[in-house]
Amino acid sequence: MKYLLILPGVLVLLVLIAVVRTLVSPRKTSDYQPPQTDEAEALRLAGKLSKMIQVDTTSHAGGDDPARFRAFHKTLAELFPRVFSQLEKTEIDGNLLFYWKGRSREKPILLMSHQDVVPAEGTWSHAPFSGDIADGKVWGRGASDTKCSVMAFFEAAEQLLAEGYTPPTDVYLASSCTEEWAGDGAPKLVAELQRRGVELFLVCDEGGAIISEPIGGIPGNFAMVGVFEKGKADVKFTARSNGGHASAPMANSPSARLSAFVTDVEKHDPFRRKFLPEVSAMFARLAPYAPFGLRLVMGNLWLFQPLMKIVLPRVSAQAGAMLHTTIAFTMQSGADAYNVLPQEATLGANMRFIPHQGEQESLAIIRRLAHGQNPMAPDRGHIHHRLIDMGLNQKQAVAALYVISSILGLSAVVLTSSGAIKAMLFLMALAVAAFLASRVIFRRDIDKALQAEKAAAEEKSTETATPAETVPAEPEEESNEEKKEEA
Ligand SMILES: [Zn+2]
């Protein structure tokens, strides 16, 4: 019996170590305040941003008339005359690139931010393109995303040019007009830089900001520097039926199936949570500023990581999003009338992919779930899922479940002589086995899908490349070929 106390004992000891570490580590307070500029200067700068907001640069998927953005360029030229007259300007279909020759060609840098904004819908306390200056703020669409940063680097260059400054290295200023719909603006600028043989040392794009209270309970102003960006995709799910009349509904209608899918995904996050080194570093940096409880947890991720992976997404959506791929269900459609059963119901979602579970894997997982191959039903998959949340990979989680159920089963068999309990244990073992099998099949399907995609991509690239030595045949090759022909 004594041995049973070892585990809790070790846990208590570890927590004690964490508490002591927290108590002896230095506390910090953030006393950063924005520098107090004189009001006239602040208003001069606010006026520039306001003028930029007043030009509607809403962009739409599929492309816009570049003339629309030339009006914005005209405003920029008026606001930053030196940048426009002294730097070498290139415009490609409304996208801007400026070259500022430095003293050296080594390690050139590029500062960029997009000109376009997303459509302004809904109600606004100040009209979206008013550029109102009120309550110490500049109001309007694009004020924070992201004409502020376009304005910031143009104004910095403008002031430095006025001083006759020459940068130590080449500087490029870039601004695309298709960013909001992931258009080809930035790729066109990249192609232009490649054509010139420019290899950039640093690219600085829009990102975080100086945020007050970045995580609830940590007071002060903190500059959030974004060092990676999640990928994204808009995904559409469609469920079909034969339709019919609302007076005689059938079960399992398209809307009901989609709803069940949404509930399932929201309740049982299918994506793996992980603390990337960048995220861990951010927590470690913020910890000294936090009150004791938070400081204890954030400053001792070596111990509390598994717990944080479960708790964090529940307490802070923003912090949680740093740990895993996310999916947000945003659009839904069904029949056009109240009394018609839809033949087709659709669901739109916006996904953001985390580096450790990229676009292909995340899409493969969500595709399988949408097809109903879901081994994570609430009753069975729950424990397994919590294990994944705690940081185990799929195989480890399956193994852990197996070990746990074996230990429980064996100890119960040892402790009891009742036939009924033994039978129950047998049934439990069957249930666990069924679950494990479904889990393994799910994972194998995902891996297969990923492999097939990878093979297809490789085949595509070898078509253009010089023929290499023959690739050993893989069992999947045949099915890949079939797929290709169908496509
Ligand atoms: Zn933006």
pLDDT tens across 266-298, in order?
A: 888 888 899 999 999 999 999 999 988 889 988
Q: Hey, what are 379's tokens?
A: 């009753």
Distance 132 CA to ligand 1 centre (A): 20
Q: Is the pLDDT of residue 92 over 80?
A: yes
Whole-number Å distance between alpha carbons of 218 and 220: 7
Rounded distance from Cα 115 to ligand 1 centre (Å) = 9
Distance 58 CA to ligand 1 centre (A): 12
Flag whether pLDDT at 158 surpasses 90: yes
DSSP 117: B
Judged against a pLDDT cut of 80, whether residue 234 lies above it is answered with yes
Q: Tell me the CA–centroid distance for residue 12 and ligand 1, in Å.
A: 46
3-class DSSP assignment, residue 301: helix
How remote is the CA of residue 375 from the centroid of ligand 1, in Å?
38
Percent of the chain topping pLDDT 90: 45
CA 206 to ligand 1 center in whole angstroms = 6
Gap from CA of 240 to ligand 1 centroid (Å): 36
Average pLDDT of the residues in 78-83: 98
Statement: residue 486 has pLDDT above 50:
no
Query: Could you tell me the two tokens for 149?
Result: 């940063």
Cα 462 to ligand 1 centroid, rounded to whole Å: 36
Give the integer Cα–Cα distance in Å for 208 and 57: 22
pLDDT at 226: 86
**Entry pTM:** 0.65
| Phi, psi torsion values for 95, nearest 5 degrees | -90, 140
pLDDT at residue 228 in the model: 84
Residue 16: C-alpha distances to residues 23, 289, 291, 300, 342 (Å): 10, 21, 18, 11, 60
**Ligand 1 centroid – CA 161 distance (Å):** 27
Q: Does the pLDDT value for residue 176 go beyond 60?
A: yes
CB distance 254 to 370 below 8 Å: no
pLDDT at 316 (0 to 100):
81
Residue 424 has pLDDT above 90, yes or no: no
In angstroms, what is the span from residue 281 Cα to ligand 1's centroid?
25
SS3 per-residue string spanning 240-269:
ECCCCECCCCCCCCHHHHHHHHHHHHHHCC
Rounded distance from Cα 273 to ligand 1 centre (Å): 26
Centre of ligand 1 from the C-alpha of residue 116, in Å: 8
Cα 178 to averaged position of ligand 1 atoms, centre (Å)? 10
pLDDT at residue 125, rounded to an integer: 95
Instruction: Tell me the sheet residues that pair with 236.
Output: 348
* Distance between Cα 57 and ligand 1 center (Å): 13
Distance 146 CA to ligand 1 centre (A): 5
